[in-house]
Amino acid sequence: MKAVEVRVPHSLGRDEVKRRLEAAVGRARDEFGEKIGDLDASWDSDERLRLLLSVMGMQIDSEVEIQASELLVRVQIPGMAGLFAGRIKQGIEERLGGLLGSQDV
């Protein structure tokens, strides 16, 4: 497993970040459902979203922690997918940056 950590700045309140994350998970299910298989999202607490998904037969475990001025994303990338860790990290930064208004996408 390769661990990837991404920090995405934001200036939003916790409830708004949570609302946007929930909407993004719904869109991901609709848009990528056939490609990613099951996408399980559950809140461990008011600040921590846990995501489990499968891509090409690989299970990917991740969590998103809402902090005061940034999101902290941790992803466990299995096997050979670790070769794409840089691209995965960049994709997370771009998607969440656009979602939270901290980056033009």
Q: How far apart are CA 59 and CA 41, in angstroms?
A: 14
Q: Pull the structure tokens for residue 105.
A: 């996408």
- Model pLDDT, residue 105: 37
User: How much is the average pLDDT of 27-34?
Assistant: 80
Span 2-100 CATH architecture: 2-Layer Sandwich (3.30)
CA dihedral over 27, 30, 31, 35, signed as positive or negative? positive
Q: Which pLDDT value is given to residue 104?
A: 41
Note the pLDDT of residue 83: 82
pTM score? 0.83
Domain ranges of the chain: 2-100
Helix (H) or strand (E) holding 54: strand 48-55
Angle of CA points 75, 54, 95, to nearest 5°: 50
Maximum mean pLDDT: which of 5-19, 24-38, 50-64, 80-94: 5-19
Q: Is the pLDDT of residue 18 over 60?
A: yes
